[in-house]
Amino acid sequence: MLASNLLPRLFARMNVHYAWPVVTVIFLTMLSTSAVMGMVGVLMLPLKSELGWNLAEISGALAVRVLLYGMVAPLAAAILQRYGVRLVVATALLLIVVGLVLASRMTEIWQMWLTWGLMIGLATGVTANVLGATIATRWFTKQRGLVIGVLSASNATGQLLFLPVAAWLSDHLGWRYAMLPAGTACLVCLALVLLIVRDHPGDVNLPSYGDSSVLPPPPRRSGQSALAISFSALATAAGNRTFWVLAGTFFVCGLSTSGLVQNHFIPLCHDYGVATITASGILALMGGLDFVGTIASGWLSDRYDNRFLLFWYYGLRGLSLLALPFTDFSIYGLSIFAIFYGLDWIATIPPTVKMTGQEFGREKGPVVFGWIFLAHQLGSATAAFGAGATRDAFLTYLPAFAAAGVACIIAAATILTVRSKLV
């Protein structure tokens, strides 16, 4: 009752719409849970050294993690509709914390598959970009694209921002301590979610931000399962060509970002004599720049043709990946790469979410985006495993990075085939 009555009145007295406290807590939650997803890049070499696992074995567990992270996305939007944002997000945060505690005790590779693969993969999938799309759609009529950009930026930035601290803890205290900052942040967010977050603006007798009329919360569809809601949306989307173009290009997005760079950039740099802390600092720089780039992308997606935004984002990302070997892996060269790549890390999300909502509507759009996000994570899983296998087979990561660059160029051309009236 505190969050549903006292807090909204308190913020109303300060002339602050309750959508902003809600989106702030979701921002911090997505930042913290994505930090858990991103820290494994720091752990790969210590795990190999201490436990004797090769990179292909570790990458297999990571591929399961990113695959489940994506597989839960189509269900996540439906689960959020069926059971409510507050309950589902709090449960996911608790599962992440338990998974990290168990991971700190692992000694066998199957335990990594269970904790980092199954538990953390599923829980972080619930608190990923589908959650951001759901919150932005429910709570905002005005500035929705900007809010999507901010929440998307938190998801990507959190994956990179915690890395320098995690790398320092891993080097000085051991890899188990590297999980402590993100785990603590998830506990704090659990308390904030329970205190502040509500499922719908109608629950606190408010219109969505930018609207004038209060709408009652939509029914929870008690007679329909989350699985039925999700597959009903897929059945509608499957006959739509725009869905397949967005899913295909988003596959390339995952292939060229979280699956590849997030997991394998630090080991790649290590191959060329760059220290782990230095490489993690460059990834953190990408995270900071991504925060700026993705918010700017959200602002742009409210104003310009989203097809052409995606054309430039995929094209420039592909060129930056193809240019990476020419940096000579110097600090200067890698910093230039970080600037161009970081600004474009997940700038693709706001236009993709906007195009999905425009095509499939306010209620069904987030669920359809969940299926599109699954394609993203299939690409991520392909790169997470494929890059590690490439390194073991050819003793270099460069073919995997070059292949991702070429795929981005193809995606840039493909997105322009979407009909202009939809954007």
**Residue 156 belongs to domain with CATH number:** 1.20.1250.20
Give the whole-angstrom CA distance, residue 177 versus residue 46: 12
Question: Residue 223's pLDDT is what?
Answer: 57
Q: What is the extent of the structural domain holding 155?
A: 2-201+225-422
Question: Residue 156's pLDDT is what?
Answer: 64
Comparing C-alpha atoms, which of 167, 166, 157 is closest to residue 284? 157
- CA dist 354 → 150, 350, 351 (Å): 14, 6, 5
Question: Residue 423's pLDDT is what?
Answer: 42
End-to-end CA distance of the chain: 41
Give the number of other CB atoms < 10 A from CB of residue 274.
18
Contact, 383 vs 404, CB < 8 A? Answer: yes
Question: Residue 3's pLDDT is what?
Answer: 46
Please report whether residue 212 resides in a domain: no
Please report whether residue 217 resides in a domain: no
Please report whether residue 112 resides in a domain: yes
Q: Whole-prediction pTM value?
A: 0.73
- CA dist 126 → 41, 294, 370 (Å): 21, 21, 10
3-state secondary structure the chain: CHHHHHHHHHHHHCCCCCHHHHHHHHHHHHHHHHHHHHCHHHHHHHHHHHHCCCHHHHHHHHHHHHHHHHHHHHHHHHHHHHHCHHHHHHHHHHHHHHHHHHHCCCCCHHHHHHHHHHHHHHHHHHCCHHHHHHHHHHHECCCHHHHHHHHHHHHHHHHHHCHHHHHHHHHHHCCCHHHHHHHHHHHHHHHHHHHHCCCCHHHHCCCCECCCCCCCCCCCCCCCCHHHHHHHHHHHHHCCHHHHHHHHHHHHHHHHCHHHHHHHHHHHHHHCCCCHHHHHHHHHHHHHHHHHHHHHHHHHHCCCCHHHHHHHHHHHHHHHHHHHHHHCCCHHHHHHHHHHHHHCCCCCHHHHHHHHHHHHCCCCHHHHHHHHHHHHHHHHHHHHHHHHHHHHHHCCCHHHHHHHHHHHHHHHHHHCCCCHHHC
Please report whether residue 13 resides in a domain: yes
- The residue with tokens 């590849």 is 260
Please report whether residue 216 resides in a domain: no
Give, for all 423 residues of the chain, the pLDDT tens digit.
444 567 777 887 888 888 899 999 999 999 888 888 767 767 777 877 777 777 777 777 777 776 777 678 778 877 887 788 899 999 999 999 998 888 888 878 888 888 877 888 888 888 877 888 888 888 888 877 788 888 877 876 666 667 777 778 877 887 788 888 888 999 999 999 999 998 888 888 888 887 777 777 666 555 567 778 788 888 989 989 999 999 999 999 989 987 788 778 888 888 888 887 888 788 778 877 888 888 888 888 888 889 999 999 999 999 999 999 888 888 889 989 988 888 887 789 889 988 988 888 767 777 888 889 889 878 987 888 888 888 888 888 899 999 999 999 999 999 999 876 444
Please report whether residue 207 resides in a domain: no
Question: Residue 407's pLDDT is what?
Answer: 95
The total number of structural domains in the chain stands at 1
Angle among Cα 244, 343, 30 to the nearest 5 degrees reads 70
Please report whether residue 399 resides in a domain: yes
Please report whether residue 142 resides in a domain: yes
